[in-house]
């Protein structure tokens, strides 16, 4: 609003307030005047009393009373600016083929609709008198588009014909719905024997997964910011993940500051406790030489060597140790490739997430669930 318009609005408000106050005073005076006339003259019609009162008040005050009759309630303006939803309604939903859906939303339209059906119980909203609620499909599409690109909230909002605050709300609503409804169904161990057979085909026997951590860039936190600076010098939050032979997440831990070492995060995780107690995998052992080997996981040198966690040999190696390291590295690469596909699909994870510290783990968790859905549905990975 321009300065001149602002001054005019303030003056109008002050004038209206003054008129109302004077009108209320005149009403009180009129009531007292009527009572006095009744005492003096006896019963008189209200019309005569109003005429006498107006004449006694003088022309200026009578003018005020006339103006009060012209004061009307200001009609409420619609609060949202006019926008266009043609891109979503007429192009995306009506024209786009699967390759365009994959490039923009990281999944085909069929998978997208299945996802919307799963999230509908948590995302469906009622229309109000002021506006029609966003459909579940549009709400999910806004969130996926924002997660899949480094675009700003305003840019995504312009595409869908909504405000940037609506985009931010949609992202968090969808992320919370995914976390509440899908994580226990999608990020799960599944059939352990299939995983063991998959790693065995890759060269490592009795293996139930590969573990590693990756850093997700964030903006500098308001509190204890130094704790979030990782060894590469930027602010981050750590995602620790265990993956199967196909690069799907079977266990995730999100939220530790970037400064914390991978081994410390692992030792304080629920995954470590389950492995230590022997409750994560079935009691299935094989004999290697003269040693019984339980189902194990594979990690890099940052992780502790445990009966159920194998890591590479270091130092001067003989040929058998080099072969062991080669096979372990070949199988462990699946977790690094999984992180690569996760961040390439949901490219917002490559930029500094402009969310609060409490919301960032929820969004990262949602991206991991979406990654598993895409992998399980066989969605073609498109890095662009």
For 232-272, write each residue's pLDDT tens digit: 999 999 999 999 999 999 999 999 999 999 999 999 999 99
- Residue pair 84/108 in contact (Cβ under 8 Å)? The answer is no
SS3 label, residue 8? helix
Q: What percent of the chain has pLDDT over 70?
A: 79
Torsion, Cα of 198, 203, 207, 211 (10° steps): -90
Q: Give residue-wise pLDDT tens across range 320-343.
A: 999 999 999 999 999 999 999 999
Say how far apart CA 316 and CA 321 lie, in whole Å: 9
DSSP state of 243: E
Measured in Å, how far apart are the chain's first and last C-alpha atoms?
41
Place of tokens 């299945």: 114
| Residue 192: predicted pLDDT | 96
CA distance 277 to 87: 54
Please give the DSSP secondary-structure letter assigned to residue 226: G
Is residue 170 within 8 A of residue 143, CB to CB? The reply is: yes
Predicted pLDDT of residue 298: 98
Residue 255 backbone class (left: φ over 0; alpha: ψ -120 to 50; beta: rest) = left
CA 35 vs CA 41, 48, 54, 297, 367: distances in Å: 10, 13, 15, 95, 76
Tokens of 47: 């019309």
User: Average pLDDT, stretch 364-381?
Assistant: 96
Helix segments in the chain, DSSP class H: 3-41, 46-57, 59-70, 86, 98-105, 109-123, 136-148, 153-160, 164-181, 183-186, 192-202, 262-267, 270-277, 319-345, 360-376
| Strongest mean pLDDT among 58-67, 281-290, 306-315, 353-362 | 306-315
* Strand 296-298 to 207-217 pairing: parallel
67: pLDDT confidence band, cut at 50, 70 and 90?
Answer: very low
Is residue 154 within 8 A of residue 162, CB to CB? The reply is no
Question: How far apart, in whole angstroms, are the C-alpha atoms of residue 296 and residue 299?
Answer: 10
Least confident span in 30-44, 110-124, 137-151: 30-44
What mean pLDDT value characterizes the chain? Answer: 86
Lowest mean pLDDT among 126-130, 146-150, 245-249: 126-130
Of 289 and 19, the one with more pLDDT: 289
Identify the residue with better confidence: 312 or 16: 312
- Distance CA(371)–CA(378), nearest Å, equals 11
* Burial tier of 306 (Cβ tally within 10 Å: 0-12, 13-18, 19+): middle
Question: Residue 293: in which H helix or E strand, if any?
Answer: strand 291-293
The pLDDT confidence band at residue 356, using thresholds 50, 70 and 90, is confident
Range 273-284 average pLDDT:
95
For 186: left if phi > 0, alpha if psi spans -120 to 50, otherwise beta; the answer is alpha
Q: Which of 99, 93, 134, 135 is nearest to 117 (CA)?
A: 135
Q: How many other CB atoms are found less than 10 A from the CB of residue 364? A: 25
Q: Give the pLDDT score at 5.
A: 62
Quote the CA–CA distance of 186 and 163 in Å, as a whole number.
Answer: 32
Contact of 81 with 164, CB cutoff 8 Å: no
The reported pLDDT for the residue numbered 371 is 98
Calculate the CA 5 to chain-centre distance: 38
pTM summary value:
0.78
The whole-angstrom separation of Cα 221 and Cα 118 is 34
pLDDT bracket for residue 10 (50, 70, 90): low
pLDDT at position 90 over 50: yes
Task: Supply the pLDDT for residue 53.
Answer: 46
How many whole angstroms separate alpha carbon 243 and alpha carbon 210?
5
């Amino acid at each position: 609003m321009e300065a001149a318009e602002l001054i005019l609005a303030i003056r109008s408000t002050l004038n209206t307030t003054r008129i109302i106050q004077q009108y209320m005073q005149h009403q009180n005076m009129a009531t007292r005047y009527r009572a006095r006339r009744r005492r003096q003259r006896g019963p008189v019609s209200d019309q005569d009393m109003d005429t006498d009162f107006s004449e006694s008040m003088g022309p200026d005050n009578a003018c005020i009373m006339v103006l009060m009759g012209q004061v009307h309630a200001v009609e409420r303006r619609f609060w949202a600016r006019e926008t266009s939803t043609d891109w979503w309604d007429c192009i995306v939903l009506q024209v786009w083929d699967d390759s365009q859906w994959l490039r923009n939303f990281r999944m085909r339209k069929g998978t997208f609709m299945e996802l919307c059906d799963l999230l509908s119980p948590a995302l469906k909203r009622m229309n109000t008198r002021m506006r029609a609620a966003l459909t579940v499909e549009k709400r999910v599409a806004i969130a996926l588009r924002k997660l899949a690109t480094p675009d700003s909230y305003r840019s995504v909002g312009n595409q869908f014909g909504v405000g940037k605050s609506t985009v931010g709300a949609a992202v968090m609503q969808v992320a919370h719905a995914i976390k509440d409804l899908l994580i226990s169904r999608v990020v799960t161990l599944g059939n352990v024997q299939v995983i063991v057979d998959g790693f065995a085909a890759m060269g490592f026997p009795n293996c139930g997964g590969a573990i590693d951590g990756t850093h997700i860039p964030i903006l500098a936190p308001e509190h204890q910011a130094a704790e979030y600076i990782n060894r590469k010098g930027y602010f981050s939050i750590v995602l620790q993940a265990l993956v199967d032979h196909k690069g799907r997440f079977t266990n995730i831990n999100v939220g530790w500051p970037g400064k914390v070492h991978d081994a410390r995060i692992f030792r304080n995780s629920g995954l470590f406790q389950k492995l230590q107690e022997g409750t994560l995998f079935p009691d299935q052992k094989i004999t290697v030489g003269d040693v019984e080997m339980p189902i194990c996981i594979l990690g890099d040198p940052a992780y502790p060597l445990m009966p159920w966690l194998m890591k590479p040999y270091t130092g001067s190696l003989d040929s058998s140790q080099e072969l062991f390291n080669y096979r372990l590295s070949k199988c462990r690469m699946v977790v690094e490739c999984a992180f690569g596909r996760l961040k390439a699909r949901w490219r917002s994870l490559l930029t500094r997430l402009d969310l609060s510290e409490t919301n960032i783990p929820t969004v990262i968790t949602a991206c991991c669930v979406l990654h598993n859905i895409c992998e399980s549905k066989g969605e073609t990975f498109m890095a662009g």
